[in-house]
Structure 1
Amino acid sequence: MSGYPYGNPAGDYPAPYATGNSAYPPYPAYPPPPIPMYANNQPFASPYGMPTPQMSSYDNYLAPSYGGNQTSGNPYDYGRGNDYQSLPPPGGQMPSPMLNQPPQQYGDYGNSQYQPPYSQATASSLPGGLYPNIQSPATQSNYAGGATAPSYQPQQQTFYPEEQPSISLASLEQYRGTIFPVSNFNIDADCQAFVQAMKGAGTNEKALIDIIVNRSNAQRQQIKHQYKSMYGTDLVKQISGETSGNFKETISALFDTPANFDAWSIHQALTASKEGTLREILLTRTNSEIRGIVESYKRTFNKDLEKEISKHVRGTDFKRILISAVQANRDELSPQQIQQARQMGIESVIDRNRARQDADALYKAGAGKIGTDEKTFNAIFAQRNYYQLRAIFEEYQKKHHTDISKVIQSEFSGDIKDAYLVLITCIRDRPSFFAERIHKAVVGLGTNDSTLIRVIVTRSEIDLVQIKERYQQMYKHSLTQDVSGDTSGDYKRILLSIIK
């Protein structure tokens, strides 16, 4: 158990990327969803069922700024619900062209801890793309003991978080989470349900779980604020007093904002030298999410994250790629480019000439010379968007007949080698990386509960559906089976309720 405290205020989440072949199959010419305007007057495709309430005091969650040939990702979506209705089934979604293609060939990962993303079996097709603006009717869920829907609240917060940008990219990649905003969201009823679930002797844990896992993160933030307004009590602290262990930690993570939870996880990783956690978070989040993490880290710990990385991280090259990541300056697709990619295919937003130039630069910095020019690798891997990097890897393979993963293994070692392999895996198929992270957390003696909780919670509104599929393909048994075998009690029940 990692001892995660009961939350902090504010933040946003990560982004996923699908499998792909060199041809970048075109996306169907479906009309793109409308792009709303947000507080900073920048457009961004809403990743949640409907826009989250915005308040003038909330200026920490701005829509990301993008440049040309850039990629954005959106891992979490939010919405509403009423009368304790359970998660509505996804609907109105278009077929998944990327996942219907044969899997991309991967180079040998050798002795590295990172294995090829998934078996050579074709990934199963999905029922549709993640268009968060499309809602399906919710079905009513039953609360044990007749309790009303409860809500959880980590710390006092006077604003509601905006949609997280990773979900827009998830929609482009046809990824889906298992948690959606519940329709007809009745915040007062949820608050009353929490009171009923914790009333008298004992706690109705089933009622707590049923409400919490069927509300999006944005809805949970609203419930926290409303609960304190109604009853003058911090909901998360109250629930923490009624629960314990990994169950309490999971509930706290669900009630915290994505940026705060990531900031706390990074702080723990820096203190305990957990390089895998640093790679998992800092190398997979979008610019907007990274900015939220940096702000939350400063606000929560009164420390500068970049300086903390310089102080605690060993290895010049590994430190360099992490410091590059916290600059939040990677090229990302603009909202217009995301729409273009949906209508005309990913190739329409890729600069092939630049990809060839970067592939040649990587060759000259590595295999084409004695020694390695680490700075060139860092500059390209840290700045190009994921789709452009995928094209660079393809051009390198075409011209030099070597998979980029083999190049990394021959030119680097230690933490920086693993960092580049994480990026390569995520660029080619992000759910595969997170499936592997979960597998490593549950195999062998003992369970890495912190990693298990973090990955399942942070991916629950982005791409957990695809992570489950990859897990089955890679390890020949289901994620539900492995999690069920390594957990117990209410902790087991809440994780399985998220995984669905």
Structure 2
Amino acid sequence: MGNVQPTIVPYEQFDVTADIKALRQACKGLGTDEAAIVEILANRSAAQRTEIKQAYFEKYDDLEEVLRGELTGSFEKAIVAMLDPPHVYAAKQLRQAVQGVGTDEAVLVEILCTASNQVGQPGARAGEAMDQGGAGCELEADIEGDTSGDVRNLLIALLQAGREEGYEVDEDLAEQDAQSMFEAGEGRFGTDESTFTNVLAQRNYLQLQATFKVYEKLSGTDILDTITSEATGTLQDCYVTLVRCAKNPQLFFARRLNAAMKGAGTDEDTLIRIVVGRSEVDLETIKDMYLEKYDVTLKDALDSECGGDFKRLLMEILH
């Protein structure tokens, strides 16, 4: 999706032996050297962190267990998140979104819409990770049990990862899809949600952008305005997320980060999911979008919302 930039890239002077020794030292004795842990893990790529985790296990112990024993709170959660390969972390987040009472549709849609090859996200393999041990089937069963109707149909369609890959735009298809969506919404009494679901869940982002342009010419209405008038509740929220992801994924994440920090309290889980999950994809570009949208840097926004080692880690990942 264009020229997007990460904040974390592979560390050129990577020395796995030196890193595991330093981590071992940071966790030994009285107290923990959190600064050393941050300095290492926030400046290594996910592949390098996976190598560190494996080497630490072979020489010393289970690194995740060691760090869980040394750290607490959101800092612990974020560090543990960084030890998983991105597609495994995405899979765990999907499971968490359906566990307990109800389903967090916003998180499901966020991950399933943006964990795609179109934006270079290794999380495209989330479904593959879920399938190990039947977890993917369990997730689908959880969604079927916790949701219903058009929302369930949309989430299942997204989970089945049928979105086209690549950057090709078929102008004829854009015309057809725009016409179909018009006839399914504004052009009839009631709404045929299945048409919106099929298009939004299957086309690549550039194709969707072309479709939205044709739709606006055809109807004189922006697709988001149509969705707002044609759909309600959770389904409307899901469709809006899909459209925003297709139009500008980095602006979508900037909005999600801002929402996580608005009002009373802070949604640390969302901060971790986006800052860690997008760090090797497009976090630098998300920072630019945040500044453009809210007229404050993402660092400054986080600085006023977070504290302690958790803040130190996020700042280091943001660079």
TM beyond 0.5 = yes
How many Å apart are 1:372 and its aligned residue? 1.1
Q: Tell me the residue number matched to 2:113.
A: 283
The reply on whether 1:436 has 2:255 as its aligned counterpart is: yes
Answer 1 or 2: which has greater helix percent.
2
Aligned-partner residue type, residue 475 of structure 1:
Y
Match of 1:296 in 2: 130
Contact 1:298 1:304 (8 Å CA) reproduced: no
- The answer for unaligned runs of 5 or more in structure 2 is none
CA distance in 1, matches of 2:134, 2:312: 31
The aligned amino acid for 1:318 is V
CA shift, 1:291, in A, is 4.5
Counterpart of 2:57 (choices 221, 228, 231) is 228
- CA change 1:301–1:384 in 2 (3 A) is closer
> Which digits, 9 at most, give the CA deviation of each residue in 1:171-225, with x for residues without a partner?
xx11011111001321111111112222222111111100000000111001111
Using the TM superposition, give the Cα deviation of residue 300 of structure 1 relative to its aligned residue in structure 2, in angstroms: 8.3
1:259 to 87, 95, 100: 87
For the pair 1:371 / 2:190, whether they are aligned, the reply is yes
Q: One-letter code of the match for 1:482?
A: A
Q: CA RMSD in A?
A: 1.7
For the pair 1:470 / 2:289, whether they are aligned, the reply is yes
Whole-angstrom distance in 1 between the partners of 2:20 and 2:134: 27
Which runs of structure 2 are paired with 1:51-62 in the superposition (5 Å)?
none
Unpaired runs of 5+ in structure 1? 1-16, 18-172, 339-348
Match of 2:210 among 388, 391, 395: 391
Mapped to 2, the partners of 1:302 and 1:410 lie a distance apart of 34
Secondary structure, in 3 states, of the residue corresponding to 2:114?
coil
Identity of matched residues, % = 39
Q: Which amino acid aligns with 1:326?
A: L
Q: How does 1:406-417 map to 2 (within 5 A)?
A: 406-417=225-236
> Bigger CA drift: 292-301 or 182-191?
292-301
- Deviation at 1:295? 3.2
Change in CA separation of 1:301 and 1:399 when aligned onto 2, cut-off 3 Å: closer
Q: How does 1:204-243 map to 2 (within 5 A)?
A: 204-231=33-60, 233-243=61-71
SS in 1 for 2:281: coil
The 8 Å contact of residues 179 and 498 in structure 1, kept in 2 or not, is answered as yes
Q: Deviations over 1:130-174 (max 9, x none)?
A: xxxxxxxxxxxxxxxxxxxxxxxxxxxxxxxxxxxxxxxxxxx11
Q: CA offset at residue 298 of structure 1?
A: 5.0
Which residue is 1:482 aligned to?
301
Alignment partner of 1:326 is 2:174: no
**Per the alignment, in what secondary structure is the counterpart of residue 13 of structure 2?**
coil
Q: Provide the C-alpha distance between the structure 2 equivalents of 1:194 and 1:312, rounded to a whole number of angstroms.
A: 42
Q: Contact 2:87–2:123 (CA<8 Å) still a contact in 1?
A: yes
TM-score w.r.t. the length of structure 2 is 0.93
Partners of 2:85 and 2:11 in 1: CA distance: 18
| Equivalent AA in structure 2 for residue 229 of structure 1 | E
Match of 2:174 among 324, 346, 355: 355
**Could you tell me how far apart the structure 2 residues matched to 1:371 and 1:279 are?**
24
Instruction: Please tell me whether the aligned partners of residues 247 and 491 of structure 1 are also in contact (alpha carbons under 8 angstroms).
Output: yes
Q: 1:355 to 1:307 in 2, by over 3 A?
A: same
| 2:17 is the alignment partner of 1:188 | yes
Q: Is the 8 A contact 1:317 1:416 kept in 2?
A: yes
Query: 1:469: Cα distance to partner?
Result: 1.2
- Alpha-carbon distance in 2 for matches of 1:242, 1:433: 35
Aligned mates of 1:369, 1:419 — CA distance in 2: 22
**Distance of 2:72 and 2:158 partners within structure 1:** 35
Higher relative CO (Cα under 8 Å, sequence separation at least 6) belongs to: 1
- The 8 Å contact of residues 115 and 126 in structure 2, kept in 1 or not, is answered as no
Q: Per-residue deviation at 1:399?
A: 2.1
**How much does 1:268 deviate?**
2.1
Q: Aligned partner of 1:263: which letter?
A: A
Matched residue SS, 1:350: coil
Among 222, 234, 237, the alignment partner of 1:403 is 222
| Alpha-carbon distance in structure 2 between the residues aligned to 1:495 and 1:419 | 28
Q: Mean Cα displacement is larger for which, 205-214 or 277-286?
A: 277-286
Contact kept, 8 Å, 1:298 with 1:305, in 2: the verdict is no
CA distance in 2, matches of 1:300, 1:486: 39
Which amino acid is 1:182 matched to?
A: Y
1:274 is aligned to 104
Give the alignment of 1:150-165 within 5 angstroms: none
SS in 2 for 1:191: helix
